[in-house]
Structure 1
């Protein structure tokens, strides 16, 4: 008996926002018998699960295809429309020619296939800091069947509907060369809407789009927002709620935010109900409609950055009066969650570092202060309303130790928790052996890697945080053995393409404005190595086709500069 399981579309399980007209389908085989293999398959794709249950594939029926192929089969059915959901299943034939049962039903959902389908306009606030809030109210009539929010908030966004945060992603969307491409994200928000009046709100942070502090400032412009809310009703009606000049904006409680320097938050400036219907927003300002900041919008098809783990404090010391050092036991990337009760106006300062001086005080030297001229620092000003819980939104840090100052009493270990944050790539492999030293080396390597997965492969989570090509290609195989990395590396290869130097050759760093010029041979070879690894480990020929011209150009460049070759 052979079974098809783990159905994927473009490497993803049940994805939203696939903006490719011919997405690729894959599955995994499972059998209790040795020596089994697939000899044929049949795919059915339908517009409803009811049709699929009756084996009525109104979108695509491959018929029986004699093939051992189980991955990257391009959809070749009827043309698909934007935001359409496609249900599919597969049956396979085994080595003896016996057919399997049908797989479980899976689905994928399309993104925007034609640029002219964007009705939303880009908007911005008069100032970037304090971080701006945006809001609008809109009606929803009865019979709502499906609602999708398509959003691009540059640099980072948080989306709210009727006071509820949408999604678990943080530091979203992923970093790109924004002037060439920017990612929109699709959210299913059906469950957050109700009949009658509704409220939508967005908070924008600077992110990498408006990084104006370190390296002399490398901003693409002040934060901008694009949002298209699509409402579909049971009677066939369809309505759009889009960003335009009818939206309003107001400064929020995030006073300052920078991916390197940290975040400052004043809870006294919070506006209750700011993302709900019924707020008196007469004191809010009109937004500005601005030109598009990017050449093209693409759906984000890599796992988002998420909070993936919480670390407790393992030690709390006070090397000086009023100075408290929290030790989380190991280095990681993320931030600290603060739980505090203090009078209104009390400002708690948190500084982050990897090591301590001999006297037990914080030593930020290894975090690159000599280069960035900033110490990773968050500040929270209390509103004085009982126990307050806060964590930053638009920054992250590389650290083990946190220095707390400004607290008017004696803090306890549970006042801070370490929040581990990285691109949420699913695990794909594990390692364990009888030698505990090797096990520890492997665990250390894993922690090092996940501390440097933040939509790009960074060199470190504090000082540079750049996508150096050399660091990327030497770690590619290691990451593939341990995580599901194909969407991540596919995205990064496009970052290399959008960062090419004048001769069409890779730069040292991609993406971003800090490219450091044309890459040396040992760095630029990433454009050859990474596509090869994706083919070698995932059987992906499309990635070779896509990047072959740049790969070829790079090899020819190496031949031209080689001496004695």
Structure 2
């Protein structure tokens, strides 16, 4: 048998040698990104910093068509040229940068290294790479344009509006004397603005531009290429509708009142400039000034929280076209209005993150479902399929006093109504996440239960035109809801179509398993996250919050980046944090600050280092680390100063292990704050290593070692053989921190944790901070089956209880486990993402995809469990697709693995024993035995497999180092 094995190795080795000499077909750079925007999903890319990324294409053996492995990029060439003419393809662009053939395997975050680009200019790029097979890729080309690099000096526009009327509709006519080469709009509407050119909404899928910031510090502007909408040698018209959005005092509530300098609000205001390049290459600008005309449009009230009041009788369908004359409404000249920027350091900056869009334009699909067309949800999962476009035909609920509809999925969005009625009649809508049950608490009829909307109405009210099949749609607002009631007396409701709204993103992750409970949790995670990305990471979508609570953002960022491409959103979130950081390094609970403490609970401001570190892990992005490194250091030093005042025993807190399940004890809150403080110091050390700052590595390593000792001596309680009171969260957090629990106590602390879980019938009793650490701690401690048991529970308290109760089966994650327990819940959100942290454990442990920055061998270590028969996970990373699927076969004691890792990359995959004390019998790859129990492990590069070795940590496990490509493994155990 050994001779057969050696012969097989020789054949594989010979094959791999032949591959290097085979003819090749031309690959092409895939999934090109410019300034972190995917060119496949963005037709108009606006760049601040030219950074290029691409992934390496598959190549096939020309003899048998099999995919090659171990392909490495060995060189690339990048060119950038200025686009001189917009209609003459024969004209040669002006090349301003040509890297030449650069010998490098770098294909992510490649910096443009040419002469400085100019503002508001079109460019053409080209990318080519050479692979280790001898192949030269196709040269791919595309276009991008630049933002304004110095808007303070480059904009001649003024902020305009009116203090006499609610001027939310503005227009300006102008003549263009000749043909147009290009036309670009730079615009900021406070709070929101929608652009029309010659009667056409330039981008009808966009909502709520620009994004919410600390307006006194930083205001975002957006840009549109309107070349195709303008007419040369003609009169043109620009129109803008304005909404207040969060540019209103409605956003303030609770906590410390804002400083007077940060209070702002009505009237709405507009800053806009059109830069036009004419056919003779001369330029002209159209800017906002007092020549613009404005009026109060049909939307008489717009509020994020309260909704819209819209009088369709006041619509003027041709109001943004040239030559428009209004016989009814009064249009006044706009007045100059002061800028929202009141801080001396205030900046107008380009909104580089993706805009908020309505479905189906809000979500792209990059997982394999986009290629295969397989977009079905796993069997048994309830709710809306996230891959079906985010559009829902709401279903009438029978026997309702008021016509009420079920969307079937809890979403953030709005509904479009098609109705027929008489002019002047009123249609009103109300929204809710829950329905009342007749017979309970004196309730006579089923209807909306809006208790958890607290003090807001979430209503839209319309006065109708009276046209047949009239379409009603709210402006500048959204609601978090599953149910909608429509008050429309003597009006025929023809259809109710509801659309999800969220920041534009791409689904890059997919996780399924043999557990219906885990699959439903994953579904709920996806929708909870989508519902709470609205230019900031909000906490919930239905009540008077929707704030940038940092604790929620910190806990969900890892899983969010496994599931969605959200680079720009999180970079903007970090800038929001930097905008509100105080001179002493402290940070408030929310960013932009609107509610909560003006100095954050440590577990909330933990978002600053945590988000920065996770962006590095998922995108290998050192630029963001550099941008925020000093700010993070300031926060860590602030915490150090607070800790020195009273020690870790008296570490300050506001929330502790927030939302511990009701009827269960709450862990010592100073311990929770101390955990977050030590975690931040640990992250500071890691980020210092990323930036090669050895001085700070040494400084904060010394501090961490001191704090680790103090944590143990302060909180260890020998009477309970655990930390603090011995509750789950306390022990979990101590175990999660490196070098806190002494080695001689570690086993007993783990046993104490496991015993507590057993006492609670294998349920967790942790709040949001403890839950994020619980599952990784149990898995790493050797209690992976227990972690899976807790994750798949369906009785209170558990994730599964959210969709296995007698009130409503959840399609999103709740704010609390007890949200619908009678007499306890009632005002909690049913669409929250702070418990989404369990999803990171799905990817990192159940599937074993350990993303860690792509600077070294990528670790794949699936954790097997007797409670699952299979797991499938996919993540479409900046390097390319990673796919891991494993399946247990008890009939022959084998585990099969399908694994794909990106080209030009290496991975170490670990096969752990199928059951404790099992020994490996054989390993096959693609049907060929590459190792048997009687054979020696090998260290020869055979078709992408570099070596097989006993794992250095897990007893009985075997690890393999493999090059990029797809593999099919079969591992047998006895």
Distance of aligned partners of 1:205 and 1:55 in 2 relative to their CA distance in 1, 3 Å threshold: closer
The CA distance in 2 between the partners of 1:213 and 1:56, in whole Å, is: 49
Q: Which residue number in structure 2 is paired with residue 287 of structure 1?
A: 334
- Which SS does the other structure have where 1:39 is aligned? strand
The CA distance in 2 between the partners of 1:180 and 1:317, in whole Å, is: 51
Deviates more, 1:277-286 or 1:31-40: 277-286
Q: Which residue number in structure 2 is paired with residue 465 of structure 1?
A: 546
The CA distance in 2 between the partners of 1:132 and 1:396, in whole Å, is: 18
Contact 2:84 2:94 in 1 (8 A): no
Q: Which residue number in structure 2 is paired with residue 43 of structure 1?
A: 78
The CA distance in 1 between the partners of 2:128 and 2:627, in whole Å, is: 30
The CA distance in 1 between the partners of 2:89 and 2:290, in whole Å, is: 44
The CA distance in 2 between the partners of 1:29 and 1:457, in whole Å, is: 32
Q: Which residue number in structure 2 is paired with residue 389 of structure 1?
A: 471
- Which SS does the other structure have where 1:190 is aligned? coil
Larger Rg: 2
1:17: Cα distance to partner?
A: 7.0
Deviates more, 1:454-463 or 1:499-508: 499-508
The CA distance in 2 between the partners of 1:29 and 1:49, in whole Å, is: 31
- Which SS does the other structure have where 1:432 is aligned? strand
Distance of aligned partners of 1:234 and 1:316 in 2 relative to their CA distance in 1, 3 Å threshold: same
Q: Which residue number in structure 2 is paired with residue 26 of structure 1?
A: 53
Among 384, 387, 398, the residue aligned to 1:317: 398
The CA distance in 1 between the partners of 2:248 and 2:622, in whole Å, is: 36
The CA distance in 1 between the partners of 2:427 and 2:251, in whole Å, is: 22
The CA distance in 1 between the partners of 2:200 and 2:91, in whole Å, is: 39
Question: 1:350-389 counterparts in 2 under 5 A?
Answer: 350-359=429-438, 360-367=446-453, 369=454, 373-389=455-471
1:52: Cα distance to partner?
A: 11
The CA distance in 1 between the partners of 2:51 and 2:507, in whole Å, is: 22
Q: Which residue number in structure 2 is paired with residue 504 of structure 1?
A: 585
Question: 1:352-501 counterparts in 2 under 5 A?
Answer: 352-359=431-438, 360-367=446-453, 369=454, 373-409=455-491, 411-412=492-493, 414-463=494-543, 464-501=545-582
Contact 2:585 2:637 in 1 (8 A): no
CA deviation map 1:338-367 (0-9, x unaligned): 111111111111011111111211110122
Distance of aligned partners of 1:49 and 1:240 in 2 relative to their CA distance in 1, 3 Å threshold: closer
The CA distance in 2 between the partners of 1:476 and 1:349, in whole Å, is: 37
**Greater share of strand:** 1
Among 30, 33, 40, the residue aligned to 1:8: 33
Q: Does 1:103 align with 2:183?
A: no
Q: Which residue number in structure 1 is paired with residue 130 of structure 2?
A: 93
1:181: Cα distance to partner?
A: 1.1
1:215: Cα distance to partner?
A: 2.9
Distance of aligned partners of 1:6 and 1:522 in 2 relative to their CA distance in 1, 3 Å threshold: same
Among 110, 113, 120, the residue aligned to 1:76: 113
Q: Does 1:187 align with 2:224?
A: yes
Contact 2:509 2:563 in 1 (8 A): yes
1:120: Cα distance to partner?
A: 1.0
Contact 1:128 1:206 in 2 (8 A): no
Deviates more, 1:393-402 or 1:33-42: 33-42
Among 333, 339, 353, the residue aligned to 1:302: 353
Unaligned runs of 5+ in 2: 1-23, 60-67, 258-262, 360-389, 439-445, 649-709, 712-974
The CA distance in 2 between the partners of 1:387 and 1:512, in whole Å, is: 43
TM-score normalised over the length of structure 1: 0.93
Q: Which residue number in structure 2 is paired with residue 341 of structure 1?
A: 420
Deviates more, 1:111-120 or 1:504-513: 504-513
The CA distance in 1 between the partners of 2:92 and 2:335, in whole Å, is: 51
Q: Does 1:112 align with 2:194?
A: no
Contact 1:83 1:111 in 2 (8 A): yes
- Which SS does the other structure have where 1:546 is aligned? helix
1:271: Cα distance to partner?
A: 2.2
Q: Which residue number in structure 2 is paired with residue 247 of structure 1?
A: 292
- Which SS does the other structure have where 1:548 is aligned? helix
Distance of aligned partners of 1:292 and 1:480 in 2 relative to their CA distance in 1, 3 Å threshold: same
The CA distance in 2 between the partners of 1:213 and 1:178, in whole Å, is: 12
Q: Which residue number in structure 1 is paired with residue 208 of structure 2?
A: 171
1:125: Cα distance to partner?
A: 2.2
Distance of aligned partners of 1:556 and 1:182 in 2 relative to their CA distance in 1, 3 Å threshold: same
- Which SS does the other structure have where 2:398 is aligned? strand
Aligned residues between the structures? 554
Among 141, 163, 184, the residue aligned to 1:148: 184
Distance of aligned partners of 1:471 and 1:76 in 2 relative to their CA distance in 1, 3 Å threshold: same
**Greater share of helix:** 2
Q: Which residue number in structure 2 is paired with residue 556 of structure 1?
A: 637
Distance of aligned partners of 1:107 and 1:17 in 2 relative to their CA distance in 1, 3 Å threshold: closer
Contact 1:120 1:226 in 2 (8 A): yes
Q: Does 1:122 align with 2:169?
A: no
Distance of aligned partners of 1:496 and 1:146 in 2 relative to their CA distance in 1, 3 Å threshold: same
- Which SS does the other structure have where 1:297 is aligned? strand
Contact 1:52 1:88 in 2 (8 A): no
The CA distance in 2 between the partners of 1:515 and 1:67, in whole Å, is: 49
1:55: Cα distance to partner?
A: 9.8
Q: Which residue number in structure 2 is paired with residue 162 of structure 1?
A: 198
Distance of aligned partners of 1:39 and 1:4 in 2 relative to their CA distance in 1, 3 Å threshold: same
CA deviation map 1:356-392 (0-9, x unaligned): 111211110122x1xxx22211001111122210211
Contact 2:589 2:598 in 1 (8 A): yes
Structure with the greater relative contact order (CA < 8 A, sep ≥ 6): 1 or 2? 1
Contact 2:191 2:246 in 1 (8 A): yes
1:265: Cα distance to partner?
A: 0.3
The CA distance in 2 between the partners of 1:310 and 1:19, in whole Å, is: 31
Distance of aligned partners of 1:214 and 1:327 in 2 relative to their CA distance in 1, 3 Å threshold: farther
Structure 1 stretches (4+) deviating beyond 4 angstroms?
A: 14-19, 49-57
CA deviation map 1:169-215 (0-9, x unaligned): 01111111111111111111112122311111111111011243773
The CA distance in 2 between the partners of 1:219 and 1:357, in whole Å, is: 38
Contact 1:18 1:108 in 2 (8 A): yes
1:53: Cα distance to partner?
A: 10
1:272: Cα distance to partner?
A: 3.5
Contact 1:176 1:512 in 2 (8 A): no
Unaligned runs of 5+ in 1: none
CA deviation map 1:257-306 (0-9, x unaligned): 11001000011111232111112259411111123222221111111111
The CA distance in 2 between the partners of 1:122 and 1:66, in whole Å, is: 50
CA deviation map 1:113-167 (0-9, x unaligned): 12211011110123564x6210110112332121111110010111111111111
Q: Which residue number in structure 1 is paired with residue 95 of structure 2?
A: 58
Question: 1:537-548 counterparts in 2 under 5 A?
Answer: 537-548=618-629
Q: Which residue number in structure 2 is paired with residue 332 of structure 1?
A: 411
- Which SS does the other structure have where 2:140 is aligned? coil
1:41: Cα distance to partner?
A: 1.5
CA deviation map 1:384-429 (0-9, x unaligned): 12221021111110001111113314x55x5211111111111112
- What RMSD over aligned residues (CA atoms) do the two structures have, in Å? 2.3
The CA distance in 2 between the partners of 1:385 and 1:202, in whole Å, is: 25
Contact 1:132 1:249 in 2 (8 A): yes
1:520: Cα distance to partner?
A: 1.4
